[in-house]
DNA sequence: CTGAAAGCGCTTACAG
DNA sequence: CTGAAAGCGCTTACAG
């Protein structure tokens, strides 16, 4: 592969001059410029980004470590991150932790070794030593969706408190009184928060959240299945299962279906995270929708701010309840026919900002 | 960030020695080794992969350019690619083309500039000049899923011919005679092949595939919706719609639902690509399943073979029909309750190999 | 077993 | 406007 030297030779100039035209440096004669450009063309020269990075000490690359790519929520997050990064002139390398702390560390290590300019992470756990080091050490970092308390890193996330309250109001209005939850890992902030929000909302209706109605999941389908089976085996099974992510809701649906039971007739189901498929499941699933695309974009903006020396802000966006039919029929007229869900441009909700 | 020089100083040896212990070179004294390791520990040294790549001319990185990450089929493909790459000691950088040739070129260019060791691509079109250059030029390359005819590059893909035949037999057995298809872009091999396979299978039953029953899609949900609306507006609408990917099937479902029609009562629906959600749609969707995980793994193996100087083979794996209820009820007893679909380990079908 | 030195492909003061 | 030269952080013959 042709190097800058070859181009210089071909154009009859020094490598410095070639470098200057490649970098749009102003002080280059028109003549030199055209000769260099011609040489580049002839040789099919492509600048070596590795060498350039070594010299300039920047890779124009962002690392994104997410907990599970197969989760449609994170897939969409990753997509919007890449999109925004691209418009700002960065590439992104995605590391999929698969909800495994060891894999998460593997990716953080790998990304750090590659000298990415900044790291976006949705932590799988409370923070390994490596992660903590990275956060305190120089690497610009921003948390998306989940975060690690006590670390001085901006956080971009959705607040589901109100939406969960709306959900519980909806369920209570439908006459449900025994509500159960499939929780995410306690080591994750979203795992804890969603249970806390649910408990608080129930409390407002004078309802409790007994331990047997809290199932420990891991944000993956299999755990949703297992937990739901446990619920169904209870002497007094819950009337509603609230899965705190979409994959566990899928698992719950599997378990319910395997027992030959019907949603919502035999048991109601709601989920955190809305995805296009929820419109078409049997029945369509009531879910709490996050402004996913906007979260991705905001987190990139915050990270690039940090990288380029501006001071980034934490951002909190509201989630909202989307009522469908999986919790029972409401007296109200069914919501007007849902607009085509897939690929619809993200609605941008009002943004609440808070200093990190 | 500490460099190799700092480590050398701290350990009281030369950088050459540090490099040797870092690379597990045999001729290093035990004493030097322990001193270096201690220094590494003290300084929190992390080897600079950028510098190393420049020197060794290898990045241990694979590029993967796929047509659409949001498509669950490609998400799973990407996941299995990363997994296999990791076990072989490579990282992967994913470029999402979003079915746009210009974006595809952007990513290929970016990946080439970063001097990835090899490129895995599922082309969005017939091949831009850049892509063709890359293929002919030195960069080790392998096509997955889709490929570009006439280019000397190994291909790893699934063959859906038999499965499509099975699908048509199934539909015919159910009494359907007017069958329509939502095609993918003609510039993609999968776009063409699936239509050809469908036409051939219909022919075997003495059925034709009139032009009005061929809708031009682009593998995205929106086009599935539009095409299906067109079908429904026909004086004689088809009895079956076969969407040649899962996203267009989602779109078709949207369109049918918006008209207040039912599947399969009013119109039957089948899809290429099986995904966990198809078990839970209303109704569950009959689909052709690809051995996605195995495709991802096989393509990485082929690419790494090529990179490391072995000669890779093209691989063709069979797809298979999964009958559910979206085309009508069969006389046969309903298939035994489907096993939990999500995360189930990939079944490894017999592999048919053919020389590239 | 060890170190001095060259070199990977760039960028960028510095001098002219 | 231009070029010679240093240097980014590594690896690796080469000599000892």
What is the interface size between A and B, counted as CB pairs within 8 Å? 138
Model confidence, pTM = 0.89
pLDDT tens string, chain B, 356 residues long: the values are 899 999 999 999 999 999 999 999 998 999 999 999 999 999 999 999 999 999 999 999 999 999 999 999 999 999 999 999 999 999 999 999 998 999 999 999 999 999 999 999 999 888 888 998 888 878 999 999 999 998 989 999 999 999 999 999 999 999 999 999 999 999 999 999 999 999 999 999 999 999 999 999 999 999 999 999 999 999 999 999 999 999 999 999 999 988 999 999 999 999 999 998 898 888 899 999 999 999 999 999 999 999 999 988 899 999 999 999 999 976 544 444 444 444 333 333 333 344 33
Give the residue from chain A lying closest to B1, CA to CA: A138
Determine contact, residues A69/B79, Cβ cutoff 8 Å: yes
Position A355 pLDDT exceeds 80: no
Query: Protein A16 CA to nucleic acid D4 C1', in Å?
Result: 9
**Percent of chain A whose pLDDT exceeds 90:** 80
Burial class (CB in 10 A: 0-12, 13-18, 19+), A151: middle
- What tens digit of pLDDT does each residue of A72-90 get? 999 999 999 999 999 999 9
User: What local confidence, expressed as pLDDT, does residue A335 receive?
Assistant: 45
Query: Protein B114 CA to nucleic acid C10 C1', in Å?
Result: 13
Query: Protein A39 CA to nucleic acid D14 C1', in Å?
Result: 37
Reading phi first (left if > 0) and then psi (alpha if -120 to 50, else beta), residue B350 is in beta
Q: What is the DSSP string of B111-169?
A: HHHTT-SEEEE--SSS--HHHHHHHHSS--EEEESS--TTS---EEEEE-HHHHHHHHH
User: What local confidence, expressed as pLDDT, does residue B343 receive?
Assistant: 38
- Mean pLDDT for chain A? 90
**Other CB atoms within 10 A of residue A19 CB:** 18
Position A336 pLDDT exceeds 50: no
Q: How far apart are CA B85 and CA A265, in angstroms?
A: 46
Q: According to DSSP H, which parts of chain A are helical?
A: 4-11, 15-22, 30-43, 49-56, 72-87, 101-113, 129-136, 161-173, 189-204, 221-233, 246-258, 292-307
Alpha-carbon torsion, ordered B259, A338, B263, B239, to 10 deg: 40
Burial class (CB in 10 A: 0-12, 13-18, 19+), A338: middle
Higher pLDDT, A212 or B341: A212
CB crowding A98-127: b at 16 or more within 10 Å, else e: bbebebbbbbbbbbbebbbbbbbbbbbbbb
CB crowding A190-227: b at 16 or more within 10 Å, else e: bbbbbbebbbebbeeeebebeeebbbebbbbbbbbbbb
Rounded mean pLDDT, A221-247: 97
Task: Enumerate residues 6+ apart whose C-beta is below 8 A from B210.
Answer: none
Q: Phi/psi of residue A251, each to 5°?
A: -60, -40
Residues contacting nucleic strand D by the 7 Å CB criterion are A 13-17, 20, 26-29, 31-32, 51, 54-55, 57; B 1, 3-5, 15-16, 18-20, 22-23, 45, 47-48, 51-52, 54-56
Q: How far is CA A314 from the centre of its chain?
A: 15
**Other CB atoms within 10 A of residue B56 CB:** 9
CA nearest neighbour of A242 among A176, A341, A297? A176
Position A136 pLDDT exceeds 90: no
Q: How far apart are CA B356 and CA B352, in angstroms?
A: 12
Taking contacts as CB-CB distances below 8 angstroms, the residues of chain A near B113 are 46-49
Relative to beta strand A320-322, strand B61-66 is: unpaired
Rounded mean pLDDT, A326-350: 50
How close does chain A come to B187, measured CA to CA in Å? 23
């Amino acid at each position: 592969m042709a190097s800058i030297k070859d181009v210089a030779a071909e154009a009859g100039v020094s490598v410095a001059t070639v470098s200057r035209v490649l970098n749009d440096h102003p002080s280059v004669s028109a003549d030199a410029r055209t000769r260099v450009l011609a040489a580049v063309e002839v040789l099919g020269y492509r600048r070596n980004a590795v060498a350039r990075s070594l010299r300039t000490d920047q890779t124009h690359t962002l690392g994104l470590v997410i907990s599970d790519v197969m989760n449609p929520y994170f897939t969409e997050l990753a997509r919007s991150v890449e999109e925004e990064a691209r418009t700002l002139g960065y590439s992104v390398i995605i590391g999929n932790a698969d909800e495994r702390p060891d894999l998460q560390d593997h990716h953080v290590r790998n990304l750090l070794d590659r000298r990415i300019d900044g790291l976006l992470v949705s932590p799988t756990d409370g923070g390994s030593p490596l992660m903590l080091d990275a956060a305190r050490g120089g690497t610009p970092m921003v948390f998306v969706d989940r975060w690690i308390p006590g670390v001085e890193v901006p956080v971009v996330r959705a607040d589901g408190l109100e939406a969960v309250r709306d959900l519980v109001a909806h369920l209570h209005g439908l006459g449900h009184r025994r509500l159960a939850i499939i929780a995410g890992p306690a080591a994750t902030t979203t795992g804890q928060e969603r249970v806390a929000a649910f408990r608080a909302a129930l409390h407002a209706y004078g309802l409790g959240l007994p331990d047997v109605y809290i199932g420990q999941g891991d944000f993956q389908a299999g755990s949703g299945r297992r937990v739901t089976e446990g619920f169904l085996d209870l002497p007094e099974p819950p009337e509603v299962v609230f899965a705190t992510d979409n994959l566990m809701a899928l698992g719950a649906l599997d378990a319910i279906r395997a027992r030959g039971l019907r949603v919502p007739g035999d048991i109601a189901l709601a989920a955190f995270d809305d995805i296009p498929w929820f419109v078409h499941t049997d029945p369509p699933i009531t879910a709490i929708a996050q402004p996913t695309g906007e979260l991705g974009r905001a987190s990139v903006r915050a990270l690039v701010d940090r990288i380029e020396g501006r001071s980034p802000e934490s951002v909190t966006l509201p989630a909202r309840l989307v009522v469908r039919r999986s919790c029972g029929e409401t007296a109200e007229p069914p919501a007007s026919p849902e607009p085509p869900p897939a690929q619809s441009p993200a609605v941008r909700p009002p943004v609440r900002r808070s200093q990190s």
